[in-house]
């Protein structure tokens, strides 16, 4: 299982709304994530908007992203979420995630 970490930045004035959306993620979005290999997925949000994401996937970060790219629900979710993030330059958040290098892990 590959462990993946990534960062994004939520606009400070959108943090409360962003949190609310994640209290009620669409069931079809959750199903798509599971189906495409996003396991043990967590998002952590700092009060300045820095967002850290973590998940585990059987193959690779790229394969998990490509799987979600094939899901129609993901396109709708990404459109909904796009206004919440800084620095995307017109891209969707899932197109702007940069995988972090794992430098330590304790089982």
Cβ contact 58:67 at 8 Å: no
The whole-angstrom separation of Cα 5 and Cα 22 is 18
Residues forming a β-bridge with 85: 10
Query: Which residues does the annotation mark as catalytic?
Result: 22
Q: How confident is the model over 18-75, as pLDDT tens digits?
A: 999 999 999 999 999 999 999 999 999 999 999 999 999 999 999 999 999 999 999 9
- Residue keyed to tokens 């949190």: 19
Q: pTM (2 decimals)?
A: 0.90
Q: Could you give the domains of the chain?
A: 2-99 (3.30.70.100)
Helix H or strand E segment including 15: helix 15-23
- Residue keyed to tokens 């952590």: 44
Cβ contact 79:21 at 8 Å: no
Average confidence (pLDDT) over 5-29: 96
């Amino acid at each position: 299982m590959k462990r993946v970490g990534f960062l994004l930045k939520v606009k400070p004035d959108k943090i409360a709304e962003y949190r609310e959306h994640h209290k009620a993620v669409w069931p079809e979005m959750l199903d798509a994530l599971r189906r495409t290999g996003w396991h043990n997925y967590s998002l952590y949000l700092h009060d300045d908007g820095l967002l850290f994401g973590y998940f585990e996937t059987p193959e690779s970060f790229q394969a998990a992203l490509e799987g979600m790219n094939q899901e129609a629900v993901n396109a709708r979710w990404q459109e909904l979420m796009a206004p919440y993030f800084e620095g995307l330059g017109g891209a969707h958040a899932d197109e702007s995630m940069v995988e972090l290098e794992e430098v330590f892990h304790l089982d």
